[in-house]
Homo-oligomer: A and B are copies of this chain.
Amino acid sequence: MPVSLAISAKPSAMHGAAPLPWRASDTPAFEMAGTVMRFSADRPLYAEGDEARCFYKVVSGVVRTCQFLSDGRRQIDAFHLAGDVFGFEAGSTHRLAAEAVTDCTVIACRRRALDTMLGGDGRLNQWFITHALSCMAQVREHALLLGRGSAAQKVAAFLLEMAERGDSANSVELPMGRQDIADYLGLTIETVSRTLSHMEKDGMIRLPSPRKVVLKDRAALRNLNV
């Protein structure tokens, strides 16, 4: 079931709320053949170490890429929303597992097909190089947050990121649970929960329901930034 896979302008990860070095106009208007696949919430798309035959573009829903630590903890590397591309690897295997956060639809694209194209199409090359470098900047941002940020800084950065990636309204619907947030930020669910409660008490946010956050004072959240 080959389907058009327009590679979008949006970078593939949610690593940083920082302004991205990325413009819609930078994106070449190329398309690639792919296969539509559906996954229901919490199903794996692929596991750590699986052969990296495909990379993916999210059509709808949310996907997380993550790795499992020797002590059983899990580090979520990124959340991938509609339009994001993920699963492109340097080596022959996936270094990160990918799992559906919500029910989702993705387009899978054979990597070999891309490899053959990469010799020829200049714009395609440019796009992938820029995409890779762009992702790297985001990973760095995330690394900084993980390594240097306090719990409050982490949660604030996360909320601002989610707001920015959504319709950027003040009301944010979180597609993932507390455990996912904690594993993304390198915290425990208790600390995430406490930090959110504390922010509500301080008037920075409102929590009409666990999954819904209203940003009341973006400036205050931003001021926490690393």
Instruction: Establish whether residues A122 and B118, one from each chain, have CB atoms under 8 Å apart when the complex forms.
Output: yes
CB < 8 Å: which of B119, B128, B129, B225 contacts A70? B225
- The stretch from A31-39, A41-49, A136-144, A201-209 touching chain B is A136-144
Query: Which residue of B has the minimal Cβ distance to A95?
Result: B137
Q: Assuming the A-B contacts A75-B144, A142-B143, are A90 and B137 also in contact, with contact meaning beta carbons closer than 8 angstroms in the complex? A: yes
* Interface check A148, CB cutoff 8 A: yes
Interface size class of A (residues with CB under 8 A): 35 or more
* Interface check A126, CB cutoff 8 A: yes
Q: Contact flags (1/0) for A71-107 with B, using CB distance below 8 Å?
A: 1010101000000000011111001100000000000
In the docked arrangement, what's the CA distance between A120 and B92, Å?
Answer: 25
A128-161 residues at the B interface, CB under 8 angstroms: 128-130, 132-137, 139-140, 142-144, 146-148
* Interface check A171, CB cutoff 8 A: no
User: Quick one: copies of this chain in the complex?
Assistant: 2
Chain B residues with CB under 8 A of A130:
90
* Interface check A67, CB cutoff 8 A: yes
* Interface check A226, CB cutoff 8 A: yes
Q: Is the contact region of chain A dominated by helix, strand, or loop, or is it mixed?
A: helix
A residues engaging B (CB < 8 A)? 21-22, 67, 69-71, 73, 75, 77, 88-92, 95-96, 118-120, 122, 125-126, 128-130, 132-137, 139-140, 142-144, 146-148, 186, 225-226
Determine how close the nearest CB of chain B comes to the CB of A144; give it in whole angstroms. 6
CB < 8 Å: which of B22, B142, B148 contacts A73? B148
Instruction: Establish whether residues B146 and A89, one from each chain, have CB atoms under 8 Å apart when the complex forms.
Output: no
In the docked arrangement, what's the CA distance between A128 and B125, Å?
Answer: 9
Determine how close the nearest CB of chain B comes to the CB of A143; give it in whole angstroms. 4
Instruction: Establish whether residues A143 and B147, one from each chain, have CB atoms under 8 Å apart when the complex forms.
Output: yes
CB < 8 Å: which of B73, B77, B137 contacts A140? B77
Chain B residues with CB under 8 A of A148:
69, 73, 75, 146, 186
CB < 8 Å: which of B90, B119, B143 contacts A125? B119
In the docked arrangement, what's the CA distance between A69 and B118, Å?
Answer: 38
Chain B residues with CB under 8 A of A125:
118-119, 125, 129
Closest 10 CB pairs of A and B: A146-B147, A21-B91, A90-B133, A143-B143, A132-B132, A119-B122, A147-B186, A125-B125, A90-B134, A139-B139
